Amino acid sequence: MTLTLSRSDIERLADRVEAAQDNARAIPKLTDDFPRMGLADGYAVQSELRRRRIRQGQRLVGWKAGLTSKAKMLQMGVDVPSIGFLMSNMARTDNAQVRTDDLVHPRVECEVAFVTKKDLHGPDCTRDEVLAATDFVLPAIEVIDSRFAGFKFDLPSVVADNGSSARFVTGARARDVADLDLRTLGVVFEKNGVSIGMGATAAVLGHPAEAVAMLVRVLAELDEQLPAGSFVMSGGITEAVAVTAGDHVVARYQDLGSVSVRFI
Ligand code: OOG
Ligand code: MG
């Protein structure tokens, strides 16, 4: 992947995204000022942001795949999956209360999360390697929060903004992948007791483990790998739905149990 941005531009854009994340303030998409920006530039900004978060004392717990389902690609007008990093301070437990006053315009997604027990790396990583390296899977809700005004962006901009990562909530019930057919699990997504989406895990690149393999292949391009013990979100199955304070969201999975979150 080739860069068009200089080192000082990468730092300037990381400053912009970091301030938008920390102050929950929307900014214009980065390509408005840097129209030649490409995917490699987006990942260069994201990597700079990750180094800063670690320097600030946050701990990297894993990664997320994004834009891995047709529903998400159509919703956001982007047709290439992306990855982003997950830090410990983004994690919430089942039934947690998530504040909305430190977010711009949060949306929720239902996803299958993986926890790994073996290192995964390289440009040829496959779905079967991911399944063999999986310790267990969990039901999850991701709370995304694009820092771009109106949730409008293109691929380089959303990658620079760490794939809109903000919070993630995991269910309590861990399952062994050997006991599940991860391709055909159904999920019902509800907000305030009303269905807001329905789908099956095949929506995510045919199989959620395929999304994790894609993520490992992107990591290889960034000279990174996925160490054992990583937490990985495989991407929203249905469209993301906007939430506000007072909303209660539940994702009910076949065989995986449910996970919920309350916004305050
Ligand atoms: C980008 C993040 C997409 C997913 O699961 O598809 C994502 C966005 O839509 O803001 O997390
Ligand atoms: Mg997501």
Question: Among the atoms of ligand 1, which is closest to the Cα of residue 64?
Answer: 11
Task: Report how far residue 100's alpha carbon sits from residue 109's, in angstroms, rounded to the nearest whole number.
Answer: 16
Q: Is the pLDDT confidence value at 236 over 90? A: yes
Residues forming beta bridges with residue 170, ordered by sequence position: 93, 140
How distant, in Å, are the alpha carbons of 128, 163, 231 from that of 170? Answer: 24, 18, 10
Q: What is the pLDDT of residue 9?
A: 97
Q: What is the pLDDT of residue 260?
A: 98
Q: What is the pLDDT of residue 79?
A: 87
Q: Which two tokens stand for residue 51?
A: 């180094």
Nearest-CA residue for atom 7 of ligand 1? 66
Do 142 and 109 contact (CB within 8 A), yes or no?
A: yes
Question: Confidence class of residue 139 from pLDDT cuts 50, 70 and 90?
Answer: very high
Do 174 and 138 contact (CB within 8 A), yes or no?
A: yes
Residue 78 in 3-state DSSP?
Answer: coil
Contacts of 8 (CB under 8 A, 6+ apart): none
Question: Confidence class of residue 2 from pLDDT cuts 50, 70 and 90?
Answer: confident
Question: Confidence class of residue 207 from pLDDT cuts 50, 70 and 90?
Answer: very high
Please work out whether the CB of residue 158 comes within 6 Å of at least one atom of ligand 1. Answer: yes
Task: Report how far residue 22's alpha carbon sits from residue 166's, in angstroms, rounded to the nearest whole number.
Answer: 11
Nearest-CA residue for atom 11 of ligand 1? 66
Please work out whether the CB of residue 235 comes within 6 Å of at least one atom of ligand 1. Answer: yes
Q: What is the pLDDT of residue 62?
A: 98
Relative to the alpha carbon of 168, which ligand is closest? Answer: 2
Mean per-residue pLDDT for 217-231? 97
CA 259–ligand 2 middle distance (angstroms): 15
Phi/psi for 182 (5° steps) reads: -70, -10
Q: What is the pLDDT of residue 126?
A: 97
Q: Is the pLDDT confidence value at 1 over 80? A: no
How distant, in Å, are the alpha carbons of 65, 85, 116 from that of 237? Answer: 11, 19, 21
Q: Is the pLDDT confidence value at 204 over 80? A: yes
Phi/psi for 197 (5° steps) reads: 170, 160
Mean per-residue pLDDT for 144-169? 96
Give the CA radius of gyration of the chain: 17
Q: Specify the DSSP class assigned to residue 65.
A: E
Among residues of the chain, what percentage have pLDDT more than 70?
100
Q: Which two tokens stand for residue 241?
A: 């739905």
Please work out whether the CB of residue 72 comes within 6 Å of at least one atom of ligand 1. Answer: yes
CA 63–ligand 1 middle distance (angstroms): 12
Q: What is the pLDDT of residues 45-92, one digit of tens each?
A: 999 999 999 999 999 999 999 999 989 999 999 989 999 999 999 999
Task: Report how far residue 214's alpha carbon sits from residue 233's, in angstroms, rounded to the nearest whole number.
Answer: 12
